[in-house]
Structure 1
Amino acid sequence: MSGAPHDGGRPAIVVAATPTSNGDLHVGHMAGPYLAGDVYSRYVAATGRPVIYTTVTDDSQTYVPTTAHRQGVAPERLVAESTTRVQRTLTAMGLSMEGLPPIDGRYRETVLEFFTALHAAGRLRRRTVRLPYAERSGTYLYDGLMQGSCPSCLTGSAGGVCESCGHPNNYDELVGPRATMDPDEPVSYRDVEILTLPAEEYRDRLTAYYAEREGHWRPRAMRLVRELLAGPLPDIPITVPGTWGIAVPFPETPGQVLYPWVEAMPAVIYGTWWSAARRGAATAAVDEHWRAEHGAELVYFHGFDNVYHWGLLDLVMLMAHGDRYITPESNVVNEFYDLHGEKFSTSRGHLIWVADLLAEVPRDLVRFYLSLTAPEFQRTDFGVAALRAVTGRRLVEPWNRLADALHDAQAGVRPGPVPVSAPARSRAATMAGRFRVCYELRSFSAAQAAETVLAHLGRLVAAADSGAVPPGDLLVEARTLLAHAAPILIDAAAEATAAGVDLGLTAEPPAEIVPFTLPRLPEIAVPDGDPAGAAGRTPVGV
């Protein structure tokens, strides 16, 4: 197969946005960063490059205690149960992660070392800021602890960042703040001294960084970056006067905890180390894989509502360490995935849990449909009825027709390799080139890769139906199709690999090929009287 990597054996670190441990992952989550990151990671591995795909649960987020309060459970119990559920979902979906790293003593040590180094280097600044304060509970409000209106777009927003426009609203910027746990509780403002990391001090490096990647980011995300750079850059909170999270050791801020959003950066550094250790590649220094001298390709996958955090806040924190660390090659940013025309909502029960969907629909078909309809450039919509109809008509039926045609074409063929014509090798190379455009980072699109699978599938079915294509020619193009569908159709790929089919993407199309069986895809029936199937009801799994 053609498609050798341009960067040789350059290692890759792929990071999916850290999931908050206040519940399981629904279909909207999976169709965003998690599946896309997996598809890219599998493609990178198929080109012969080492890759680590990781994420870490975000236990310190304020959405943990607010969700626990709403459910009437202890936050610690919610974290434990949610982590178990998220891990089961990641495994069930077949994501190529080593697992969720434990939030243990080594984790907390890594996180604190990241910030104590900045503190010792004089990178942090003491600032007196004005924070909303819930009078009855005596709680300072930030992030998920408060609700109000975004000062940039005026829509409803939690603290920290606006989900709609992506702009931050630090400290007292949220309009009309009220406490999430008790909206009727009186709220005042109090001055408090915290430690911050001034993003403005890194403006020149940030401007140069984004200019180099102007064509690498998706348009709406880059537009938000330009909007952020057009105004004063914020003082990023490093510590806050809270009770849920990691206590900080800094003498200037006794009794405070790390601001939850800054924790994710050292968290995924730890996650990379832990994942490598699970593969037998442990290093003494937890941050070894992120050191600039190793030159790894770093890629983030996250939603638009996290552009400020993963695209600017975390970048500033890496830059604050000087030249010690790599910076992201790109941020692959998705939009929201709707369910029947409305945003997925856990609080309203308007959702489908990934685990429930996988109980109804085979995994390869779920992965394919979510890739095909991924909200890459604009919001898209999910429905189980559409999943069944589209995958059945456009994927499963023609795929299995091709599998049958390949089987029939090999009838009477002597055992051993069969020849492949030069025109067929050229077509296979052309196919690989089109898929490469879909999978490589600058133009990555799982949706376009899925569409390309369908386009070539239809072409090969027509070629097989004509009866005019020699077996070797049909086989080499079918293998090219399967190899490039493999990052999405992982079970079909695993079946073929187990049968001895080479699905690597590092070789040129061969002059002869050993006949093989194309794995059939599972068919899904529509239950009588329920065109959407049981998993299509809303809510599901609530």
Structure 2
Amino acid sequence: MVIHHLENAEMARMFDIDISHLDGLDFPAGWGRVAPGERSASHQHDETEMFVIVSGEGTLLVDGHRHAVKAGSVAQFAPFESHVLENSGETDLVFFLQYRRDAASAARSSASQERQNPQRPQFVFSTPPTPNGDLHLGHLSGPYLGADAFVRYQRLLGNPAWHMTGSDDFQSYVVALAHREGKTPAEVASHYSREIRQTLSMMDIELDHYTVTNDAEGYAAGAQRFFSRLVASGEVQLRDAPALCDRENGNYLYEVDVAGACPGCGNATNGNICEECGEPNVVTDLGAPITKASQQPPENRAVKRYMLPLHQFAATVAQHHKVGRVPARMRELAQRVFSRASLDVPVSHPASWGISPAEAEGEGQVIWVWPEMSYGFLWDIEQLGKKVNQPWKADQPDASWKIVHFFGYDNSFYHSILYPVLYQLAYPDWQPDIDYHHNEFYLLEGKKFSTSRRHAVWGKEILTPQSVDAVRFYLSLTRPEQERTNFQLAAYQQELSQTLIGQWQTWLHDLGERTARLFAGQAPDAGIWTKEQVAFWAQLNGHLQQTTDALNADGFSLRRAAQQLKNLVQDTLTFSRSQQRLAGIAGWKDEVDYRTRSRQFFTDWD
């Protein structure tokens, strides 16, 4: 006999709580202890696990749903089911834990649609585009097509999901274009916001909410309240910090105003973010910086801004990355960012275009558009709630919310590193559950699409009611999900003529013609199955499963889904051609008639 006593257990810190291991049992087991006010780190694993609450009380947070537990409660977690145990009482919450590894259970759970698509609101965001130009295929292939297809599939499964975006009006790139065109930033933003929305419609991208940040009533006030929360946290402070300024006129330089060598990878970059490696910069750390307007070196000055000591929040980001779907590319980016000894990030800039902080001391500043965007997502949720009669509030984010982001890799720092920190400061009791889906650059004839350089195939140039399905398919097939891919007009036209028309349309037309001619337009009974046909049926189900896996939340990949559809049609055509050899042979071609007659006989007899 083996007896273990809790008071003799040697505890160690695991998952941010105390855990012990019990030796000598026939199954892996241990004790767990959560101190008052503590919570375990969110995690998931391939074992089936069971908790038996021995004393205390608390809450289990499982895939966004909260469950009260107390002494005598038993909970079992399926493989890969994320879970958090919180102690809401005044004494230790003690539990017995047991787990087992079973390959069959893990395999079932990994493919479970129920696990991947919990019945709770899913707010799916495609990054708001900068209204300094219309959308080109590089934009459309990434966040917008991805988010649209994701929401469509979730709704097909019966899950509540909504697609939201808007125009990111207060970008410095809008100011730069307005200056070149002799217009106001508001005029430029308004014009291109309308163009963007029209292009999304032409792409059959259905939006449930679209925010125009410069026009939305109440948006600026809400952003100010959010920013005031950051200031009230004590971590965001207005102070002098090194900056770059134009040597000729003294203008403050950031983002589009300045360029140099990225301090992370050494490639050429504009201010504040590197498109190549994804790392941020604070412009004073650029190598050989130049003022974009004059092409002259800037000068260093101390400039007052609201500053965030981001380097102090590595643990916050690491904990956040344990909760939702965070690709390895972003975890690795976080490791690079937090390997720096210090990183003080300005979250406001001296400028006139944007939303000013509510604090009197912030006069002359505007909230940096990227921190502003983190609030914008919460604002969108509240506005959507008004449309669907739900009491969602931007200043009361809820643990039941599932947020899903689609964006280009160059936005990864903001979404997966900066925003979790801002949410922690503004709403310390909220642990956001966010899935991240990024795409790499989509190239055009081997070079980057570029709005500012007008090197692009614009959506309106290629999208018509007749072409939109073909464009969506080809962009899905070549979507730059894990690596950069290349759009070539000749390759698109070849895919259209050879695959969609030459194979798919020809096959469907022939199938419809034979069904009409041989079976009066009704799909016939399958007849007596040969072993070849049984094997092909299994092959089709394999294609269905792989397509489903490619569309499910955890492994979402339009590129794989589109390729699976191509494979399915190709295999069907190959099998169909092999079976056509029996079409004119008596005794084989009549099997269907026999099966149909038999079915009619039993129907009449009944």
Q: Same fold (TM over 0.5)?
A: yes
Report 1:194-233 matches (<5 A): 194-211=305-322, 216-232=325-341
| Equivalent position amino acid for 1:281 in 2 | N
Q: Where does residue 430 of structure 1 map in the other structure?
A: 542
Provide the aligned C-alpha RMSD in A.
Answer: 2.9
Q: TM-score, normalised by structure 1?
A: 0.78
In the alignment, which of 369, 372, 383 is matched to residue 488 of structure 2? 383
d(CA) in 1 for partners of 2:236 and 2:275? 27
Report 1:362-401 matches (<5 A): 362-401=467-506
Q: Where does residue 21 of structure 2 map in the other structure?
A: none
Would the aligned equivalents of 1:3 and 1:436 in 2 still touch at CA under 8 Å? no
Would the aligned equivalents of 1:101 and 1:271 in 2 still touch at CA under 8 Å? yes
d(CA) in 2 for partners of 1:233 and 1:337? 33
1:131 correspondence with 2:243: yes
| Equivalent position amino acid for 1:31 in 2 | S
Q: Where does residue 269 of structure 1 map in the other structure?
A: 378
CA spacing shift, 1:284–1:349, aligned 2, 3 Å: closer
Q: TM-score, normalised by structure 2?
A: 0.70
d(CA) in 1 for partners of 2:556 and 2:390? 30
Report the more deviating stretch, 50-59 or 448-457: 50-59
| Equivalent position amino acid for 2:551 in 1 | Y
Q: Deviations over 1:361-412 (max 9, x none)?
A: 7001101111111111111111111101013212332222332243223545
| Equivalent position amino acid for 2:566 in 1 | L
d(CA) in 2 for partners of 1:428 and 1:326? 42
d(CA) in 2 for partners of 1:262 and 1:4? 34
Q: Deviations over 1:142-173 (max 9, x none)?
A: 11222222122222111111111211111522
Q: Where does residue 19 of structure 1 map in the other structure?
A: 129
Would the aligned equivalents of 2:271 and 2:281 in 1 still touch at CA under 8 Å? yes
Listed as ranges, the gaps of 5+ residues in structure 1 are 475-542
CA spacing shift, 1:361–1:222, aligned 2, 3 Å: farther
1:302 correspondence with 2:412: no
Q: Deviations over 1:152-203 (max 9, x none)?
A: 222211111111121111152223333333334x632221232223323322
Report how far residue 101 of structure 1 moved: 1.7
Q: Where does residue 113 of structure 1 map in the other structure?
A: 225
Identity %: 27
Report how far residue 462 of structure 1 moved: 3.1
d(CA) in 2 for partners of 1:159 and 1:19? 18
CA spacing shift, 1:230–1:121, aligned 2, 3 Å: closer
| Equivalent position amino acid for 2:306 in 1 | L
Report 1:242-261 matches (<5 A): 242-261=351-370
| Equivalent position amino acid for 2:564 in 1 | T
Report the more deviating stretch, 48-57 or 344-353: 344-353
Report the more deviating stretch, 395-404 or 160-169: 395-404
Q: Where does residue 78 of structure 1 map in the other structure?
A: 188
Q: Deviations over 1:14-48 (max 9, x none)?
A: 11122111111111111121111211121111111
Would the aligned equivalents of 1:133 and 1:140 in 2 still touch at CA under 8 Å? yes
d(CA) in 1 for partners of 2:320 and 2:304? 31
Q: Deviations over 1:516-538 (max 9, x none)?
A: xxxxxxxxxxxxxxxxxxxxxxx
d(CA) in 1 for partners of 2:327 and 2:229? 33
Would the aligned equivalents of 1:42 and 1:96 in 2 still touch at CA under 8 Å? no
| Equivalent position amino acid for 2:163 in 1 | Y
d(CA) in 1 for partners of 2:232 and 2:200? 38
Q: Deviations over 1:28-69 (max 9, x none)?
A: 111121111211121111111011111121111111111222
Would the aligned equivalents of 2:320 and 2:420 in 1 still touch at CA under 8 Å? no
Report how far residue 270 of structure 1 moved: 1.6
Report how far residue 211 of structure 1 moved: 4.9
Report how far residue 420 of structure 1 moved: 6.4
d(CA) in 1 for partners of 2:147 and 2:436? 11
Report the more deviating stretch, 114-123 or 33-42: 114-123
Q: Deviations over 1:228-252 (max 9, x none)?
A: 2322462332222222111111233
Would the aligned equivalents of 1:41 and 1:96 in 2 still touch at CA under 8 Å? no
The structure having more radius of gyration, on CA atoms, is 2
Q: Which has the higher strand share?
A: 2
| Equivalent position amino acid for 1:147 in 2 | A
Report how far residue 417 of structure 1 moved: 8.2
Report the more deviating stretch, 380-389 or 414-423: 414-423
CA spacing shift, 1:116–1:63, aligned 2, 3 Å: same
d(CA) in 1 for partners of 2:149 and 2:471? 13
CA spacing shift, 1:230–1:428, aligned 2, 3 Å: same
In the alignment, which of 424, 435, 453 is matched to residue 330 of structure 1? 435
d(CA) in 2 for partners of 1:137 and 1:463? 73
Q: Deviations over 1:66-117 (max 9, x none)?
A: 1222233222211111101101011111112135223223211221221222
d(CA) in 1 for partners of 2:477 and 2:521? 38
In the alignment, which of 436, 440, 444 is matched to residue 552 of structure 2? 440
CA spacing shift, 1:395–1:264, aligned 2, 3 Å: same
Report how far residue 426 of structure 1 moved: 5.5
1:157 correspondence with 2:262: no
CA spacing shift, 1:392–1:232, aligned 2, 3 Å: farther
Q: Where does residue 291 of structure 1 map in the other structure?
A: 398
Listed as ranges, the gaps of 5+ residues in structure 2 are 1-110, 593-606
d(CA) in 2 for partners of 1:181 and 1:334? 31
* 3-state SS, counterpart of residue 441 of structure 1: coil
d(CA) in 2 for partners of 1:360 and 1:338? 25
| Equivalent position amino acid for 1:57 in 2 | S
In the alignment, which of 417, 422, 427 is matched to residue 317 of structure 1? 422
Q: Which has the higher helix share?
A: 1
